[in-house]
Amino acid sequence: MIEVFVRGIPYARNKTKGRLDAPKEWTQRVIDQTRSLPHIRTACELDAEFVLPEDKFPSDLPFGMDLDNLLKRLLDGLGRTVLIDAPGNDSAIVSLRASKRKARPGEDPGVKLRLAPVL
């Protein structure tokens, strides 16, 4: 089993305004912070809890950005590191639990991950 907290501000897909390079930077953080972890080579389950800064919950998105979009960048990064040897890379994830929440005061943003092989 792999458990890790990837620090950084999670981003979804691509941006059309503001810091256009921020989503790519997030993907690179995922890669950099999971690169040295053991590889999973079989079917596995993923538990991901996104910890988002308050500004990711604007008035027009009071529940934050879409989980499916947050997961896309995360899974792409994991497919290049811990899942690189699994047949199909991130398609080896057969069970997924994802959640998001606002960071508590003083808490770093990022994503808490738990990857476990399915036995």
Helix H, strand E, coil C: the string for 3-62 is EEEEECCCCCCCCCCCCCCHHHHHHHHHHHHHCCCCCCCCCEEEEEEEEECHHHCCCCCC
CA distance 82 to 79: 7
Query: Tell me, what's the pLDDT at 32?
Result: 97
Structure-token pair, residue 15: 């941006």
**50-100 per-position pLDDT tens digit:** 999 999 998 888 998 899 999 999 999 999 999 999 999 999 999 999 999
CATH of 2-117, one of 3.40.50, 1.10.1760, 1.10.10, 3.30.1330: 3.30.1330
Going from N- to C-terminal start, the domains of the chain cover 2-117
Q: Are 50 and 101 in contact (CB under 8 A)?
A: yes
Q: What is the mean pLDDT of the chain?
A: 92
Angle at 45 between CA 41 and CA 51, to 5 degrees: 120
pLDDT at 35 over 80: yes
Give me the percent of the chain exceeding a pLDDT of 70: 95
